[in-house]
Amino acid sequence: MQIKKTIITSLVFWSILVLFTQCNTTKTKEIRTNDSRTEIQQDKVVNYAKKQIGVRYKYAGNTPKTGFDCSGYTKYVYAHFNYTLPRRSIDYTNVGTKVNVKDCKKGDILLFTGSNKHKRITGHLGIVVSNKKGTIKFLHASSSRGVVISDMSISYFKDRILGARRIIK
């Protein structure tokens, strides 16, 4: 009788242990799946954005055929993935989630002043391509070069950065 009780108690204990272990594993897998879905979406957005490299700059332009300005380019890229974003760069100030520039990730949107760095309102945008050890590269529609990848370490951009916004979650 005592042996039966011990065996039953052991079985119950191990069953509960296995059950809790599986619940914890499932939760961990869900988190990893969500992280990986986000990373896949970030890659898709950046890869699509890169396909526009070389498209000429056009004030108020919003298609590869006519050319892009910075907000037209950003809106065009994200619209391809069913994100609705503003048409004007100044309207990006409260879009998505605010992130520290040093913590920005692929697919985040960088906000810059326009050509007057002393006027501290958003006048230019870029899409982060990478952030490796603080070296940030981003895509944008440059008024002189069209859609290009630039480096944040260039003083022109460092002096004009206002913040970053996360759209892909």
Which positions are catalytic?
70, 124, 140
Q: In terms of DSSP bridges, do strands 109-113 and 122-132 run parallel, antiparallel, or are they unpaired? A: antiparallel
SS3 15: helix
Amino acid in position 119: K
67: left (phi over 0), alpha (psi -120 to 50) or beta: left
SS3 65: coil
Beta bridge partners of 132: 135
On whether the CB atoms of residues 74 and 55 are closer than 8 A, the answer is no
On whether the CB atoms of residues 68 and 141 are closer than 8 A, the answer is yes
